[in-house]
Amino acid sequence: MVATVSSPIDPKPQDWESLFTVSSVPSTVWGPGTVAGRAIMALGEATLKGFERVIDLESLAIQRRLRTIRRQIPVLTAEMYHDLMELARPDLYPSSILTASLNLICLQITYGYSTAIVGALSHLPLSEIGIILLQLMVMSVGFDPEAHAQSIAPNQIISDEKQMLRAVWCPDNILDVLATLVQIRAETAWVCYDVIDDLSLCPFFCILFLKRRDHAILRMRGEESLNIPIICRTPLAKMQGSERWKNWLLLEDQPGLSAESRFRELSVLLTNVAAKQSVFNPEFFDAAVDLFEILRYTKSPKLRPVAREFLIRFLSSAKPVVWDALKEALDFTLMRDPLRRPKPLALRTIYGDTVYVAVQHAGETAASSPTSPDFEPILCEFMRYVEEKNEL
């Protein structure tokens, strides 16, 4: 009698099912690692569910934060600006949250708070700044402030006539953001240039930029692309006019952007550029304008005497060519006064009462005496030098 042996490669249909389901064969024997493997799998599934729950909770918290910010528009705190910039960072949050935060940023820019947006944006890495600027510029084409303000109480958005006038959107809003960003963080210039170059490949934006070619940031990019000599380029301060110091005033309360921080930067810049005798360039002009405007408008009572002392030391060690460059910046500062103060008052603020009286009204008052404690001969000499040059 011949024994029948079943072929191992010809399994029954129910054996196929046992490859993917729990086997019902009573002879099935668990291996030594079966319990550990199932425990690890259960732990992994529990961990994934925990992560999903955490993500859901974070998403709900973010949405609540965005609703809070939306209700507070346009009067936002520094923390709210920081949160908006954080949620607008690329590839970190879901697209719905990214779009909502960018819409709120556009809405805030529409109501005239672009300087505060720039202050928060300037602290991000350069690569992320470029992506956010590109997204804002693209969104600016079809952005409708009224549509995005419907969910906000009207008395919070348009509280008076001035606020209503602010609610005007145009591409210049984002271009102003680019120019202000370059003002407070010079190394972002190439990031802004790359954004402009990328958008210029689109015919729509190319025509848009041509129509606004006199805008500060577009003019700077044009001079850079044409490789115009540094000495012939237009300083940013000249193109911004009185808006430049207003931007500094609005950013005074933010860390790293105070008047003291700006003075520390410009004092180093002016000293280094003067040592190279390459003073006729936009960088020197912008720094000199900021120095004179700090002397005139700073709210810090301790900063003005420090800035005045720096100007005295700088004039004492500078050569005539440096005096000419400083005179050009001073003339521009006096001509474009954002507060429209009388020129004598501006000169008194910069030079001091004693020096001004000594030059303008010599011998008429005791305050002009060289024995006065705040009398500075070098400032008198510079003031006379400026007046003589202007009379020629």
Q: pLDDT by residue (tens digit) across 29-83? A: 555 555 555 556 655 555 555 444 444 456 777 888 888 888 888 788 888 888 8
Q: What is the pLDDT of residue 35?
A: 53
Rounded CA gap, 40 and 60, in Å?
30
CB 166: neighbour CB atoms within 10 A? 15
Q: What is the pLDDT of residue 58?
A: 64
Which has more confidence, 23 or 134?
A: 134
Return the percentage of the chain with pLDDT > 90, whole number. Answer: 15
Tens of pLDDT along 186-195? 899 999 999 9
Q: Which of 67-76, 169-178, 215-224, 286-295 has the lowest mean pLDDT?
A: 169-178
The string of DSSP codes covering 92-114 is SS-HHHHHHHHHHHHHHHHTT-H
Helices first, then strands: H and E counts in the chain: 22, 0
Task: Please name which of 268, 137, 132 lies closest in space to residue 201, comparing C-alpha atoms.
Answer: 137
Q: What is the mean pLDDT of the chain?
A: 75
* Local structure of residue 22 (DSSP, 8 states): -
- The dihedrals phi and psi of 180, each to the nearest 5 degrees, come to -65, -35
Which has more confidence, 237 or 278?
A: 237
Q: What is the pLDDT of residue 157?
A: 37
Residue 359 has pLDDT above 90, yes or no: no
Q: What is the pLDDT of residue 217?
A: 93
Torsion of CA 275, 238, 224, 229, to 10 degrees: -50
Q: Which of 81-85, 263-267, 354-358 has the lowest mean pLDDT?
A: 354-358
CB 108: neighbour CB atoms within 10 A? 20
Rounded CA gap, 263 and 294, in Å?
8
Amino acid at 119: G
Q: What is the pLDDT of residue 251?
A: 83
Q: What is the pLDDT of residue 194?
A: 92
Note whether 82 and 103 are within 8 A (CB). no
Q: What is the pLDDT of residue 196?
A: 92
Peptide bond into 74 cis (omega under 30): yes
Query: How confident is the model over 169-184, as a mean pLDDT?
Result: 84
Q: What are the tokens at 120?
A: 């928060």
Please indicate, yes or no, whether the overall pTM of this predicted structure exceeds 0.75: no
